[in-house]
Structure 1
Amino acid sequence: MRTAFVSPRGAARMVLAGMVVAGLVAGCSSGGEAPKTEGPSGKSTNGERTVEFNPCTELSDQALRAARIDPASKDVVTDAPTGPVSARVCQWNAVGGPYFVSVSSSVYTQDEARKNDKLTGFRDVQVGPRAGLIYQDKADEDKLRCYVSLPAAQGMFEVTVGWRYGEPMTRDRCELAIQHAKELEPHLPK
C-alpha cells in the first residue's frame, strides 16, 4: 500500500478549503435562484452571489499585527482571480503560538452554517456589535480547529484558529478564535 505525505501546513490548507468551499455548500443547497442584488455588498454576477471583501488583500498589516498575526506569513487558501466567488480565504501564523489564524469572506450565512450537518457545537457569542457563532467541524476528531463566524451584508466572515498538528495543545482553540475575531471585527465591513 502506498501512502502520500502531506505536510501539516498542506493538510491544514486542504481541510480549511474543504470546510469553506464544500462544507458550507453542502449546508446551503436549498435550491432556487440566488438573489440578484447590486452594490458593494451582496454583488451578483450572472445571478450568482459573489463576495466583495477579500481578506487576502484588504486586511491591512496594521490590523493583522494588532490581532497578533504575522502579516509576512500569509498563505492564500482560495482567492479566485475572476468571476463569481463564494469564498476567499487567507491564513497567517499567530505570533507567539503554534497555530494559524484564517479569515474567510463568504456568501454563505450563519443560518446556512447552522443547517450544515457537518458542523457541531454551535454556541452564540457577542463579537463587538455582531452576533457571532462558534462551531467546529465534526470530522475534526482531534478538535484542532474552531470557527467563529460574524454576519455581514454579503453573507458572513469566518475567523478560524487551527492548532498545528503535533504541537501540544496548551490553549482552548475556541477562546483563541473568539479573541482574534474580536480583534479583527472592527476591520471587517458590516
Structure 2
Amino acid sequence: MVLVAAALLVGGCSSTVEGHAVRPDGADGLFDPCSAIPDDVVSSLGVDVGTEDNGVLGVRQAEFEICSWESDWYALGVWSTFHTLDDVRRNPKDTDIRDAPMVAPGAVTFREVTDVQKNLCMVAIPVVQGAVFVRVDAFLGERHQEEVCALATRQAIALLAYLPK
C-alpha cells in the first residue's frame, strides 16, 4: 500500500501533461498571434483558419510565441519574440537581409542560409518587445504561385494593424 501511494505521489509530480503544450520559460509576456489575429483576417490572407498551429507542431518554443496556418502551397507563420532586428543581422544562419521600409520603419526581409531552394522568407518587424516575424514557407514540391518574399511582405503589411507597435 505504501509503495502504491509513493508511486502515485511521484507520478503526480510529473511536469508533463498529456495533450497540453507546456509554456517554456522565456516566452511569458510575448504577443500571442493566435489569440490576437482574428479568424476573418487570417482567412482574408488566403490560409485556412482550421489549420491553426500554436507553436511548432503544437509544441511551444522557448523565447517565441508562434502561430501558423496553411494554404494549399505554403504555411504562413507569425513569430513573436524578444529577439531584435540586430539579432537577425548578427545571426550567421540568416542571409539575404534587405530593408523593407514598405512594411514598417526598420523592417527587413531575410532568409535562412540552409534554404537553398528559396522556399522560405521572413519579414522581421521591430516592436516594443523585440520583433514579430511574418514567415512564409512554401511546401516542398509545390509550385510557388508567388515569390515567397513578395508574399511574406504582402502578408506582413496586411497584418500590421493586428501586431504590437
Which TM bucket (shorter chain)? 0.7 to 0.9
SS in 1 for 2:107: strand
Structure 1 contact 127–181 (Cα < 8 Å) conserved: no
Question: How far apart are residue 76 of structure 1 and its match?
Answer: 2.2
Correspondent of 1:139 among 86, 111, 114: 114
Alignment of 1:80-159 (within 5 A): 80=60, 85-94=62-71, 97-159=72-134
One-letter amino acid of the counterpart of residue 90, structure 2? K
Per the alignment, residue 15 of structure 2 pairs with none
Shift in alpha-carbon separation, 1:54–1:127, aligned structure 2, 3 A: farther
SS in 1 for 2:150: helix
Per the alignment, residue 11 of structure 1 pairs with none
Correspondent of 1:67 among 27, 30, 45: 45
Correspondent of 2:34 among 56, 69, 79: 56
Give the structure-1-normalised TM-score: 0.66
Question: How far apart are residue 73 of structure 1 and its match?
Answer: 1.3
Per the alignment, residue 162 of structure 1 pairs with 137
In 1, Cα distance between equivalents of 2:27 and 2:146: 37
One-letter amino acid of the counterpart of residue 60, structure 1? P
Give the structure-2-normalised TM-score: 0.76
Structure 1 contact 51–107 (Cα < 8 Å) conserved: no
Query: What is the alpha-carbon root mean square deviation over aligned residues?
Result: 2.1
One-letter amino acid of the counterpart of residue 100, structure 1? A
Unaligned runs of 5+ in 2: 1-24
In 1, Cα distance between equivalents of 2:154 and 2:67: 18
Question: How far apart are residue 160 of structure 1 and its match?
Answer: 0.6
Larger radius of gyration: 2
In 1, Cα distance between equivalents of 2:133 and 2:102: 12
